[in-house]
Structure 1
C-alpha cells in the first residue's frame, strides 16, 4: 500500500475561492504526498476548471505539473447526486440534469487522461420506490451500465462506495449502506472492472466491525476513503481523531491482500484552518499516514 490523499484536502479555504488544483498539488507535494485521488465534486464552483470550455487545456497543465512534481493519480471521485430522486433541482430542471450527467462523463475522460486506475462513484437509493432494496439495485445497475462501459473503453474501473444511513432528513435508509448490499450490487455487474471503494467513516457511522466487513468484501476492494469520526456524523477527521479501530483495520487490509492505495479523505481537518496553519497540518497528516502504513508491515 501507498499513502495517498484526495485533492480536496487543501481545495476548500476558510474564506475566498477554491485553491487552484496546481497550487493544491504543490502544497501536497511539499507535505510529502506523491500519490493523489483527484476529486471532481467541485463542479458547482465557478472557478473549478472541469465545467469550463477550456477544461482540456487546464487538464493538460495539471498533468504536466503532476509529472514535474513526481505525482501519480491512482484514484478519482466523479461528481455525485441523486439521479432518480426529486431531492434537488437536477431532476426538476432537465437542462441542469443533462449538464450534470455530462460532467460525470467528462470526469471519466479527465480521470483517464490523468492515469487514474479507479474512479469512485456513489450509489443511490430508490426513494421513489420506498427505498426498497431490489428497486435500488435494479436502478443502480441500469444507471451505471453506460458509465461502466465508457470507463472500460477509457481503461479505468468504477469503484462503488459504501454509503451510510441517515442522510439528513431526506433518506433514512440508504442503499449500499450495508456491505452485503454493496457486494451484491458489485457482483451483479459480473465485470472485473467494477469494484468497491470502502469509506471507513461511513462504516463507522453504521457501527460495523470493519474487519468483518473488509473480510466479507475481500478481493472486490479496489480503493479506499480513509477518514475517522465518532460514529455520529460524516466529519472526515484524520485517523485516530475518532473511534475507528485502525490497528484492526490495517491488519485486515494485509490479510485480505488489498493491493490498492491507502487514500485519505480527511478534508474535515483542513477546510476551516487559517492559511498559515495548513502546511503543518498537511505535514502532520502525512506523518500519521506513514505510521498507519507501518502497522501493515
Structure 2
C-alpha cells in the first residue's frame, strides 16, 4: 500500500492548491487527494472563473515538478438531496470533469440526509442525486465513492453510519461505478470492529479516510492520537484484499487556530508556524509508514 493525504491538510496555511501540494511533498507524501472543498469555499482553483483546462495544466505542471500524483479527490460539502440541488449537481459534475483532466479515477461525494426520512426513503433520494453524476462519470470511467458518516446523534435524522447500511445504499443505486470509501475515524466513534465492518463491504471498498479520535468527537487527528484500533483496520484491509491507497484525512493533527482560545493582546503563537505544521505532516507520513511496514505492505 502507498501512503496518501489530502491537500486540505494545509487549507489554513494557503489558498493555493499548488502550495498545499508543495507542503505535502516536503513532508514526504507523493500521492495526494485533491480537496475540492477548499476551492469551493473560496471560489478559487477549480471553482474560479479561470478556464478549467488552463487551471488543470497548472496543477499538472506542479505535480510533475514535485514528483507527486493525484490518486483520489473529495467533492465539496452541500445539500445533495435538497429540492433545489440542481446547482450542487452541476458543481459536482465540474469536479468530475476536473478529475478527468488530472487522471483521477475516484471522487468521494457525500450522500445526503433530511429530517423525517426513513432509511429506504434516504436511499431512494440519494439514488436520484447520484445517478445523474454517475451517468456523467461514465464518460471518463471515474468511480464515485460514498462514505460511512460519524455516529447518528440527532433525533429523527437518519444518516448512513455503518457498513451494512452503506452496502444497502450502494446496492440501491446499483451502478458499476458506485462504491465505498471507508472512514476509519467515523467507525471508531461507534466502537465498531473495523475488520468486521470492512468484510461487509468487501470489494466495494476502493479508498480510505484514515483518521483517529477519542470516540466522542469527529476530531480527524492522526493515528495514535486517539483510540482507533489500527490492527483491526489493517486486518480488515488485508482480509478483503484491499489494494488501494492508505489515504489520511487527519488534517487536525495540529488543531487549527480558529478552534483555539485567542489572547487578543498578542497572537504570536496562536497559530502553529508553517514549518512546525510541515513537521507534523511528516510525522503523519512516518506514522503511516510504520503501520504499513509492520504489516509488510508498505510501498514507496
Tell me the TM-score normalised to structure 1 length: 0.88
Question: Could you tell me which residue of structure 2 aligns to residue 227 of structure 1?
Answer: 211
Q: What's the RMSD between the two structures over aligned residues?
A: 1.8
Task: Say which SS state the counterpart of residue 63 (structure 2) adopts.
Answer: helix
CA distance in 2, matches of 1:266, 1:219: 24
Question: Could you tell me which residue of structure 2 aligns to residue 215 of structure 1?
Answer: 199
1:118 Cα offset (Å): 1.0
1:132 Cα offset (Å): 0.7
Kindly indicate whether residue 190 of structure 2 is the aligned counterpart of residue 206 of structure 1.
yes
Question: Could you tell me which residue of structure 1 aligns to residue 279 of structure 2?
Answer: 280
Where does structure 1 lack aligned partners over 5 or more consecutive residues? 86-90
Task: Say which SS state the counterpart of residue 36 (structure 1) adopts.
Answer: strand
CA distance in 1, matches of 2:238, 2:67: 27
Q: Indicate how the Cα distance of structure 1 residues 55 and 238 shifts in structure 2: closer, same or farther if over 3 A, else same.
A: farther
Deviations 1:72-119 (A, max 9, x none): 11110011222334xxxxx6xx6xx54433221111111111111211
Question: Could you tell me which residue of structure 1 aligns to residue 267 of structure 2?
Answer: none
1:251 Cα offset (Å): 2.1
CA distance in 1, matches of 2:223, 2:156: 27
Tell me the TM-score normalised to structure 2 length: 0.87
Kindly indicate whether residue 147 of structure 2 is the aligned counterpart of residue 161 of structure 1.
yes
Task: Say which SS state the counterpart of residue 139 (structure 2) adopts.
Answer: helix
Question: Could you tell me which residue of structure 1 aligns to residue 42 of structure 2?
Answer: 46
Residues 127-142 of structure 1 aligned to structure 2 (within 5 Å): 127=115, 130-142=116-128
1:137 Cα offset (Å): 0.6
Question: Could you tell me which residue of structure 2 aligns to residue 10 of structure 1?
Answer: 10
1:183 Cα offset (Å): 0.4
Question: Could you tell me which residue of structure 2 aligns to residue 35 of structure 1?
Answer: 31
CA distance in 2, matches of 1:206, 1:48: 36
Question: Could you tell me which residue of structure 2 aligns to residue 241 of structure 1?
Answer: 225
Q: How many residues align?
A: 280
Task: Say which SS state the counterpart of residue 12 (structure 1) adopts.
Answer: coil
Kindly indicate whether residue 272 of structure 2 is the aligned counterpart of residue 267 of structure 1.
no
Kindly indicate whether residue 99 of structure 2 is the aligned counterpart of residue 100 of structure 1.
no
CA distance in 1, matches of 2:239, 2:294: 12
